[in-house]
Amino acid sequence: MTVGRDTLLRLVRDLPEPEVGEVEVLGVDDFPFRKGRHYGTVDMATHRPLRLYEGREGEDLAAWLRDHPEVKVICRVRSSGYAEGARIGAPQAE
């Protein structure tokens, strides 16, 4: 059976997103999906991508962190947007 590349991509994109579950160590980095246009988070234990973003704005990461208070460690590149998102989104130590 011959299948075109666009058909395969459409079928993969139509798959439901897997459940994220508990993430204690989070990696935040640039992904080379489209020459610097996609950024995302990775579960460092499984090395599985969790969420992709269109830019490096800190609010996107902060919102994700608010929904995942179990994150204890954040590994990130030096982007100031990621630093700001980690600072405002991570739960404050008591």
Range of the domain at 73: 27-34+55-94
Q: Are 20 and 50 in contact (CB under 8 A)?
A: yes
Q: In what order do the strands lie in the sheet with 38-43?
A: 48-53, 38-43, 25-31, 73-76
The pLDDT tens digits of the residues spanning 31-82 come to 666 565 667 777 888 878 777 777 677 788 888 888 888 888 888 777 777 7
- Residue 39 forms part of a structural domain: no
DSSP the chain: ----HHHHHHHHHHSPPPP----SEEEEEEETTSTT-EEEEEETTTTEEEEEESS--HHHHHHHHHT-TT--EEEE-S-HHHHHHHHHHSPPP-
Count: domains in the chain:
1
- Residue 88 forms part of a structural domain: yes
- Residue 14 forms part of a structural domain: no
pLDDT at 93: 46
pLDDT at 33: 60
**Residue 26 structure tokens:** 């989070």
Q: Which one is predicted more confidently, 44 or 88?
A: 44
pLDDT at 27 over 50: yes
- Residue 73 forms part of a structural domain: yes
- Residue 22 forms part of a structural domain: no
Helices 80-89 and 58-66, packing angle to 10 deg: 30
